[in-house]
Structure 1
Amino acid sequence: MSELEDIGHHIHVRISSLQCMLDLSVVELPQNKIKKVGQELCALERLLEEFEKCVSQQKERLTHLKELEDSFKRDLEDVHHIMDNIPAHIPRKKGPDNESEAVMTQNEAMDIQSAQLDDVKKSNKTVVREMAFITIPEFESIPQYMKGRATYDQVNAVVQSINTAVTAKYKILRQSLKSLNSNARKLHQRFKNQETKDTKGQYFVVEDDIREFTQLKVDKRFQGILNMLRHCQRLRELRGGGLTRYILL
């Protein structure tokens, strides 16, 4: 903006100079003065051309800035839309309960990290497989007759419940019988009785496990969502002995 003001001021000075010469034109001017007026007019013309060029450049910059502003507004709207529509099943980072919590020292952080690595090494062979959540493209690929009125969040809520049941079941199976109470021992024995040679090395649950470890209703809608999970290759069924085993893929 200062460049435009400087050019404008310079042009104003030149015009004032020309006006002064024209005012004196009533008097016969010497040849050198007439030549001076011509030079001033040429210089003024060049300045006007520079001024027009500068104005054109500023217009282009203004147009570009306007496009950037519109782009930023669209990005901001997209971010707000994403924040307002985050699926409920996505885990969120939990902050400290209050601001008075002590900050860990570097040594404490290193100790915790070392302990976590040890835990990972110890539990590498005992990791329970979990079912991956259904993505939006996968949900949209499910035939409408199969989806019915089920929503994306409802489908992933079933996925979460199945994962909860699987984790609880295999936590009991991997404990020694001596460490279990009477109810857990009964569950442990039931789980063992449900295993077959076809389930060896597989993770599976039955409907009773869903009822035992979750609040999910095992009803017609639940069965419909299981069909969708089979369609998306999240599980398969294995029947036998009066049971339907849902094996995680």
Structure 2
Amino acid sequence: MDSNTLEELGQHFCDKVEGIKKCMQIHDCVNNDNCQQLLQSIHMQLIGAEDVISHLKQAVASERQKLAEAQESMKEYKEFLDNIHYMSTHLPSRLPGKPTSQIEEKTRVNKGVLQSRASENRTEEVQPAVTSKYNAKKRFPKTEYLTVDEYQEIPKYMKGRLSYDMMNNVVDGINKVIEYKYKLKAQPRNTVGENNMKKRKQWKQQENKETQGLHFFVDDDYKKYSGLKLDKATGSVFTILRHLGRLTEVRGGGCTRYCLSSY
């Protein structure tokens, strides 16, 4: 008992008296049939409530298990969607019918707008000392990638074990060589070092009447500037590209020139 005032002490004894009165009332119910029936009914209801609560606990546990499984499935589904999104945004540009993504289109439009504004705001533009006929992008030809239909129509004796990707990797190498060679040829003499001048002189010596107006490379160019190996498989791809009309050969002077047929 912890009372600090007479009022608290009086309240304490009042609570005790009320407790005793309730105990007396309950004691009197022992011999009362109505009270016994009421208590029995309450007992049965408590048992029923315990059963309901037990079933509810089982249902809650089951739903928690389902929720955990659903969350795991959602995580896997999100990873799947991320993979699909990554693949769809990184499709090789050489695939036939690949649409231009909205991001690429938006970037292209924004770039055009910025270039237009810069042109409008420019009061005086310094022109380069020499304008090369190869400076424009359209001046650099490119070998077109093989389509799936073309790949499937290649005779088996020519195709062998060459895959679709292997052939188009060689096409990438050819385009890299052509771009490097003709960009270097287009540079003014006073901007080209001694080593590059030797390359240009060598390329000039490889030209003849049959190569006039054509863009070509030789085996040595492919070895040095494509970043790829020049092996038997590469030679087979060159043969297939000739078969498809992508390349033509001009022989003579101790070397074979691979000319781009169209651009």
Q: TM-score, normalised by structure 2?
A: 0.52
Does 2:150 match 1:150? Answer: no
Q: 2:192 pairs with 165, 171, 180, which one?
A: 180
1:79-158 correspondence to structure 2 within 5 Å: 83=88, 86-87=91-92, 89=94, 108=114, 110-111=116-117, 123-124=135-136, 127-158=139-170
Does 2:175 match 1:163? Answer: yes
| Structure 1 equivalent of residue 4 of structure 2 | none
**Matches of 2:112 and 2:153, distance apart in 1:** 48
Aligned length: 161
User: Is the 1:164–1:213 contact (alpha carbons within 8 Å) kept by the matching residues of 2?
Assistant: yes
Gapped regions of structure 2 (runs ≥ 5): 1-83, 105-109
User: Is the 1:207–1:218 contact (alpha carbons within 8 Å) kept by the matching residues of 2?
Assistant: yes
| Structure 2 equivalent of residue 204 of structure 1 | 216
SS for the counterpart of 2:169 is helix
**Matches of 1:199 and 1:162, distance apart in 2:** 17
Quick one: which amino acid aligns to residue 184 of structure 1? N
SS for the counterpart of 2:259 is strand
SS for the counterpart of 1:165 is helix
SS for the counterpart of 1:186 is helix
The alpha-carbon deviation at position 89 of structure 1 amounts to: 4.8
4+ residue segments displaced more than 2 Å: 82-96, 104-115, 121-126
| Structure 1 equivalent of residue 205 of structure 2 | 193
User: Is the 2:134–2:182 contact (alpha carbons within 8 Å) kept by the matching residues of 1?
Assistant: no
Gapped regions of structure 1 (runs ≥ 5): 1-78, 97-103
**Matches of 1:191 and 1:219, distance apart in 2:** 22
SS for the counterpart of 2:249 is strand
Q: CA RMSD in A?
A: 3.8
The alpha-carbon deviation at position 110 of structure 1 amounts to: 2.6
**Matches of 2:256 and 2:112, distance apart in 1:** 51
The alpha-carbon deviation at position 112 of structure 1 amounts to: 5.2
**Matches of 1:124 and 1:93, distance apart in 2:** 25
User: Is the 1:89–1:153 contact (alpha carbons within 8 Å) kept by the matching residues of 2?
Assistant: no
Mark the CA change 1:191 to 1:86 in structure 2 (over 3 Å): closer, same or farther. Answer: same
Identity of aligned residues (%): 34
User: Is the 2:177–2:225 contact (alpha carbons within 8 Å) kept by the matching residues of 1?
Assistant: yes
User: Is the 1:87–1:153 contact (alpha carbons within 8 Å) kept by the matching residues of 2?
Assistant: no
